[in-house]
Amino acid sequence: MSGHANKLYIVIPAYNEEANIETVAREWHDTVVSTGADSRILIIDDGSKDSTYTKLYALKKMLPQLEVVTKTNSGHGPTVLYGYRYALDQGAGYVFQTDSDGQTKSEEFGRLWEARKDYDIQIGFRKGRQDGGSRIFVTKVLQFLLFLQFGIWIKDANTPFRLMSGQSLHEVLRYIPENSTLPNTLMAVFYHKRRKKILYRHISFRPRQGGINSLNFKKIVKIGWQALGDFSNFKKGI
């Protein structure tokens, strides 16, 4: 892997986000522009059934550092991994991931970028999050399961607000299955187990800014069952 040392890729998966995608794209495009002309924001349309991709394609004319990819639907986890590998293939020195629902704030990215050389990964810690009790409960259950499986207590393993060095990301991706439903969680475990330089930062986490949450109880249970298998296999690999 080679690339520009300060080249940033912001990776954002999107599925049926026509209500949010333009605002999110513009907001994070401004952020990526501030980091340099080589940096890019990559939004991956995960086979949306609404006008998400149409809106993104039109935005490319106005946002010169926006890259748009569309693909067959595979779910959030595999789409995030697709974006990570794409970014590394383009020579990214740093990769940041967030989601397309507008829950994170781009103005909170700057302090991560300023400290980028000091850490392998910086992860947002969602204290006082505003996305509902059920989501908070799922996060707590995940935290407990990770402790049982790996013996480590991770503050917020699956936060969609993380900045990673390209070098460390390249290393960890070798251990993550391409179809993983919770790759960011497995990656957090890897960074802890391999004693990488980690920093958790308190971030804001707003309610979804528009549209409908595609996750429901049935999907959460399905993801959970697959994640348990992923955790077991991952533990053997690392």
In this prediction, residue 1 has a pLDDT band, given cuts at 50, 70 and 90, of very low
Kindly report whether the global pTM for this prediction surpasses the value 0.85.
Answer: yes
**pLDDT > 80? residue 108:** yes
Report how far residue 110's alpha carbon sits from residue 69's, in angstroms, rounded to the nearest whole number: 26
Which of 23-27, 93-97, 115-119, 220-224 has the least mean pLDDT? Answer: 220-224
Q: Write the CB contacts of 144 (distance below 8 Å, at least 6 apart in sequence).
A: none
**pLDDT > 80? residue 214:** no
| Average pLDDT of the residues of the chain | 89
Give one DSSP letter per residue of 25-80, joined into a string: HHHHHHHHHHT-TT-EEEEEEES-SSSHHHHHHHHTTT-TTEEEEEE----HHHHH
Which of 28-32, 123-127, 187-191 has the least mean pLDDT? Answer: 123-127
Q: What is the pLDDT of residue 40?
A: 98
Q: What is the pLDDT of residue 216?
A: 53
**Chain-centre distance for alpha carbon 68:** 16
In this prediction, residue 231 has a pLDDT band, given cuts at 50, 70 and 90, of confident
Section 115-135 average pLDDT: 82
**pLDDT > 80? residue 226:** no
Task: Go through the domains of the chain in sequence order and give each one's CATH number.
Answer: 8-237 (3.90.550.10)
**pLDDT > 60? residue 3:** no
Which of 18-27, 85-94, 140-149 has the least mean pLDDT? Answer: 140-149
The larger pLDDT score, comparing residue 6 to residue 2, is at 6
